[in-house]
């Protein structure tokens, strides 16, 4: 599907969150490292309570969370969280180091620092903050990022605390670890100036790069998170949370545009059919009897548990629920998301997808008859659950169906790994910020600015020079790397393996080896940052030869553990290589004598390299082969 993004008025804004690498958390002395897996911890259990604002209003997002009545369990790991994270002790003064790092990044993004930093409380309702709010402060305003499709303004740069880390979740409970709560984050929000999916990627990449170049931010998965705001003309501004891979950004933008366009088409179709929101019924019907003898396994298993089958008749809706809104997701899927989120049911079954799930054609007809509907023009939705859940689920589905006549509902969505999105919750009310009274404001004075200036962040244009002169890469490799989304990874790896592994090996693996393996169909995504670091460390320390890198990556990608993969390709000792060279010379002695030992280097090299298959460094093999052949010459000619 080709989309004219300019024509449909696409506007995208980015919100990038990156953990800062300060020594302690933002409001206490706890470290900014996550607790090890086997840490000792105690647990605290809490429940969320809803209060009205001074004006008597309830926040829709908060009301939604409290309606779930979930038990919230907080794990407090020893040495990684204290009474501040538990909200039992007031926050300490703002961590100065974090503020300085954030201001240095702001400076590199051409933003102006504010005169005084005031923390605010932003309501957070999913339990990931023990206090029920996140502390956040604007530290700079008015920056920009240059891009070939136009300058993208930066609206605000904020310093804030990271939320607790979700460990587990199930019916009626959620478990958080408090080790991550309070780690300082910089939040960079652009204006909705981005006009294409590719520009969104480039800008996110450039901002990410500037942060990495400060050398003062955290590395690895989960340390950077991107949220997107996406709208088109006539659509709605949709928040999409949790895009944790840069490469996913263009897809997320494209699929969200497709979704909004499809929802607008559905709206037009409903109007064309002469339907009105009032035509969506407010009540549903118990149709358990029609399916009581069904052979469908889902239906039978549910009925045995005492559940019932409820149906919502939808006169005039035939075909609408089957409209595809993004790849693999139909309008029915959107409704199903609402039923799951608000009713806690497994989902919905709708007539446009039937017969299916073991529900037969004649059963579908019976339901149509039972509801007094016409199978040629009408539709229905089934929910199998107990009455209470079905009631809540249908209420949400009916509201959503009525909104289909208006267009795109304002909502917060979550990114799926394939770039599509799912409904998360309604967008919170605008008035969700209020002043934090426990934290003293910080004046940004000359002494802070002096510390800020000590952090040197090169401009992206200067990186080429650093790669060539600082890291010793060839001009060719450096210019490939600079355009590669793996540049972040490269810079992190080089910094971590300084003096161990040469930057050339890291660079050529990332820009060449990984790509060609991917083309061969190797699932290189399974080889994460940690695995790469271990591979490069093994090369640097001589545990494996650089020639073995592709084989090791292949092994890890197919599920072998990193350690096992490294072991099975570990380097041969010099003695072992010498033995192989001797064997090759002996078995080819006639040819070598005919050609002369000096002219047989490449012949012997080729045979030896195919025997050692990556388990020895080519340069070392070459030295040994030349030495052995030279010895042969000295022993006398043919
Ligand atoms: Zn603490």
Return the SS3 of 303: helix
Question: Between the CA of residue 450 and those of 26, 109, 278, 455, 456, what are the distances in Å?
Answer: 20, 18, 65, 9, 12
In whole angstroms, give the CA distance from residue 197 to residue 376. 40
Question: Between the CA of residue 101 and those of 152, 186, 294, what are the distances in Å?
Answer: 22, 9, 64
- 181 C-alpha to ligand 1 centroid (Å): 8
* Residue given tokens 């549903």 in the structure block: 284
In whole angstroms, give the CA distance from residue 527 to residue 561. 10
Angle at CA 319, nearest 5°, toward 316 and 321? 95
255 and 197 Cβ atoms separated by less than 8 Å: no
Classify the C-alpha dihedral 399-404-407-408 as positive or negative.
positive
- 100 C-alpha to ligand 1 centroid (Å): 20
pLDDT of residue 431: 64
Question: For residue 383, which of 355, 328, 425, 344 has the smallest C-alpha distance?
Answer: 344
- 222 C-alpha to ligand 1 centroid (Å): 20
- 194 C-alpha to ligand 1 centroid (Å): 38
- 95 C-alpha to ligand 1 centroid (Å): 12
- 22 C-alpha to ligand 1 centroid (Å): 14
pLDDT of residue 429: 66
What is the arithmetic mean of pLDDT over 154-168?
A: 96
- 134 C-alpha to ligand 1 centroid (Å): 15
Q: Buried b vs exposed e over 322-347: b needs ≥16 C-beta within 10 Å?
A: ebebbeebbbbbbbbbbbbbbbbbbb
Q: What is the pLDDT of residues 97-129, one digit of tens each?
A: 999 999 999 999 999 999 999 999 998 878 999
- 576 C-alpha to ligand 1 centroid (Å): 54
**By CB neighbour count within 10 A (0-12 exposed, 13-18 middle, 19+ buried), where does 321 fall?**
buried
What is the arithmetic mean of pLDDT over 191-206?
A: 95
- 44 C-alpha to ligand 1 centroid (Å): 15
Token pair, residue 194, equals 């981005």
- 83 C-alpha to ligand 1 centroid (Å): 6
The overall average pLDDT reported for the chain is 92
H-helix or E-strand spanning residue 313: strand 308-314
Question: For residue 556, which of 544, 541, 540, 568 has the smallest C-alpha distance?
Answer: 568
329 and 339 Cβ atoms separated by less than 8 Å: no
What is the arithmetic mean of pLDDT over 39-55?
A: 86
pLDDT of residue 636: 60
- 98 C-alpha to ligand 1 centroid (Å): 15
> φ, ψ for residue 226 (rounded to 5)?
-115, 130
Percentage with pLDDT > 90 across the chain = 73
pTM of this structure: 0.78
- 162 C-alpha to ligand 1 centroid (Å): 12
- 569 C-alpha to ligand 1 centroid (Å): 44
- 592 C-alpha to ligand 1 centroid (Å): 72
Residue 470: pLDDT over 50 = yes
Q: Alpha helix (H) ranges present in 558-617?
A: 562-568, 574-587, 589-595, 601-612
- 85 C-alpha to ligand 1 centroid (Å): 5
Question: For residue 184, which of 103, 112, 244 has the smallest C-alpha distance?
Answer: 103
pLDDT band at 638 (very low <50, low <70, confident <90, very high): very low
Q: Buried b vs exposed e over 233-263: b needs ≥16 C-beta within 10 Å?
A: eebbebbbbebebbebbbbbbbbbbbbbbbb
């Amino acid at each position: 599907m080709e989309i004219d993004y300019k024509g449909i008025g696409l506007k995208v804004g980015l919100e990038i969150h990156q953990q800062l690498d300060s020594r302690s958390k933002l409001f206490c002395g706890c470290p900014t490292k996550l607790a090890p897996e086997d840490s000792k911890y105690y647990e605290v259990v809490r429940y969320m309570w809803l209060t009205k604002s001074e004006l008597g209003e309830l926040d829709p997002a908060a009301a939604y969370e409290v309606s779930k009545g979930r038990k919230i369990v907080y794990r407090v790991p020893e040495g990684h969280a204290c009474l501040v994270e538990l909200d039992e002790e007031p926050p300490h003064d703002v961590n100065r180091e974090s503020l300085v790092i954030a201001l240095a990044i702001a400076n590199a993004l051409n933003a102006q620092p504010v005169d005084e930093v005031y923390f605010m409380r932003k309501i957070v309702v999913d339990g990931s903050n023990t206090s029920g709010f996140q502390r956040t402060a604007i530290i700079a305003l008015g920056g920009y990022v240059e891009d070939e499709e136009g300058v993208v303004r930066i609206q605000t740069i904020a310093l804030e605390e990271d939320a607790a880390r979700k460990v587990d979740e199930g019916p009626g409970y959620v478990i958080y670890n408090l080790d991550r709560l309070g780690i300082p984050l910089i939040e960079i929000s652009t204006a909705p100036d981005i006009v294409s999916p590719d520009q969104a990627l480039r800008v996110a990449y450039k901002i990410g790069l500037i942060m990495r170049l400060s050398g003062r931010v955290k590395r690895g998965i989960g340390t950077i998170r991107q949220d997107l705001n996406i709208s088109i003309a006539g659509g709605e501004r949709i928040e999409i949370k949790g895009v944790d891979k840069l490469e996913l950004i263009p897809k997320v933008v494209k699929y969200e545009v497709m979704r909004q366009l499809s929802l607008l088409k559905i709206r037009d179709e409903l109007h064309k059919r002469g339907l009105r929101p009032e035509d969506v019924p407010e009540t549903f019907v118990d149709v358990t009897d029609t399916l009581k003898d069904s052979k469908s396994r889902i239906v039978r298993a549910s009925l045995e548990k005492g559940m019932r089958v409820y149906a919502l008749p939808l006169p005039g809706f035939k075909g609408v629920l089957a409209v595809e809104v993004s790849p693999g997701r139909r309008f029915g899927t959107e409704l199903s998301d609402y039923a799951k989120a608000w009713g806690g049911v497994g989902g919905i079954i709708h007539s446009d997808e039937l017969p299916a799930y073991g529900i037969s054609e004649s059963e579908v007809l019976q339901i149509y008859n039972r509801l007094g509907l016409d199978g040629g023009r009408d539709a229905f939705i089934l929910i199998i659950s107990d009455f209470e859940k079905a009631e809540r689920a249908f209420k949400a589905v009916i509201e959503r169906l009525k909104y289909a006549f208006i267009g795109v509902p304002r909502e917060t969505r979550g990114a799926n790994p394939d770039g599509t999105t799912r409904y998360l919750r309604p967008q919170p009310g605008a008035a969700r910020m209020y002043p934090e009274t426990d934290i003293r404001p910080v004046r940004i004075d000359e002494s802070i600015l002096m510390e800020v200036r000590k952090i040197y962040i090169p401009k992206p244009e200067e990186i080429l020079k650093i790669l060539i002169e600082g890291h010793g890469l060839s001009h060719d490799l450096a210019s490939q790397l600079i355009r590669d989304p793996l540049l972040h990874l490269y810079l992190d790896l080089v910094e971590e393996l300084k003096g161990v592994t040469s930057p050339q090996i890291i660079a050529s693996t990332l820009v060449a080896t990984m790509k060609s393996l991917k083309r061969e169909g190797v699932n290189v995504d399974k080889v994460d940052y940690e695995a790469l670091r271990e591979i490069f460390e093994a090369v640097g320390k001589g545990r494996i030869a650089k020639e073995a890198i592709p084989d090791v990556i292949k092994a890890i990608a197919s599920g072998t553990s990193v350690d096992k993969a490294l072991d099975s390709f570990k380097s041969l000792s010099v003695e072992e290589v010498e033995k192989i060279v001797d064997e090759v010379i002996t078995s080819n002695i006639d040819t070598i004598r005919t050609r002369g030992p000096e002219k047989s280097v490449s012949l012997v090299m080729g045979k030896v390299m195919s025997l050692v298959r990556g388990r020895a460094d080519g340069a070392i093999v070459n030295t040994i082969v030349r030495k052995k052949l030279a010895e042969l010459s000295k022993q006398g000619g043919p």
